[in-house]
Amino acid sequence: MSQTELASRPAPPSIWHMYRAMVGVGVVCGLLIVSVFQVTLPIIERNKAEALQEAIFHVLPKARTSSTFRLDDEGGFKALDGDGAGERLVYAGYDDSQELVGLAVEAQGMGYQDVIRLIYGYSFAEEAIIGIQVLDSKETPGLGDKIETDPAFLQNFESLDVSLRDDRTELANPIVPVKHGTKTNGWEVDGITGATISSVAIANILNGSAQAWMPRIQNKLTDFKGGE
């Protein structure tokens, strides 16, 4: 390349100009994101807490108030002040006369597309799951998402048997998914045709969670009595 050719090319911008543009824009963008985050965080947290509260009352229809309990290391349950979130939490629901209605427990597991998060209501009196609500799922619209809308499928969880064996250490019968229309026992989950994987996933999530939680919960009934 000759000298004249080099001279005729426009001078490239200095490194300083490039840094100035990128770092400057980066800093301003960062500030903008942080301020929007700060402003929206309390609103988002309130929305999430409200959604959780609604879900608790949905799966425990008779409950009017609720309080949060954490499973401690000794296997007992302690009431938490305010709204907690995270692992090892259960939500106890009470009716108007402060009688324990049941517990709401969160569970999650792999669905067809992504992790399904759900909450289910457990009734001590019936030793059964009395309602579920999906909190978070990305199942196929129109097929897999029937786990949230299909009335016949949701009927499974109006009274799903999770009673314990006589020695109180294990479920008497694990929750098992069955083909649509072949449900005969209280612990079976009638699947959805066309949403086999998603409906089986729900049964498996409930089974895993019930296997882990039920022996712990049913032996500690007194921990939840007269909360609030």
Partner 1 sequence: MATLPKSGTDEFIKGLWKENPVFVQVLGMCPVLAVSNTAMNALAMGLATAFVLVMSNIVVSSLRSFIPKQVRIATYILIIATFVTVVDYLIQAVSLDLYKALGAFISLIVVNCLILGRAEAFASKNTIARSAMDGLGMGIGFAFALFCLGAVREILGNGTLFEAQLFHDSFQNWVVMILPSGGFFTLAGWLLLFNWFKQRKARREHATTLGLSKETV
Binding site for partner 1 (CB under 8 A): 12-13, 17-18, 20-22, 24-26, 29, 32-33, 36-37, 40, 43-44, 47-48, 51, 136, 138, 140-143
Least distance from C-beta 181 to partner 1, angstroms?
20
Token pair listed for 51: 């959604």
Least distance from C-beta 103 to partner 1, angstroms?
23
Nearer to partner 1, 31 or 221 (CB): 31
Nearer to partner 1, 14 or 185 (CB): 14
Nearer to partner 1, 66 or 137 (CB): 137
Nearer to partner 1, 117 or 216 (CB): 117
Nearer to partner 1, 102 or 144 (CB): 144
Least distance from C-beta 95 to partner 1, angstroms?
27
Least distance from C-beta 221 to partner 1, angstroms?
33
Least distance from C-beta 150 to partner 1, angstroms?
13
DSSP secondary structure string for all residues of the chain: --HHHHHHSPPPPPHHHHHHHHHHHHHHHHHHHHHHHHHHHHHHHHHHHHHHHHHHHHHSTT-SEEEEEEE-TTS-EEEPSS---STTEEEEEE-TTS-EEEEEEEEEEE-SSSEEEEEEEEETTTTEEEEEEEEE--PPTTTTTHHHH-HHHHHGGGSEE-PBPTTSSSBSS--EEE-TT---STTEEE--TT-HHHHHHHHHHHHHHHHHHHHHHHTTHHHHTT--
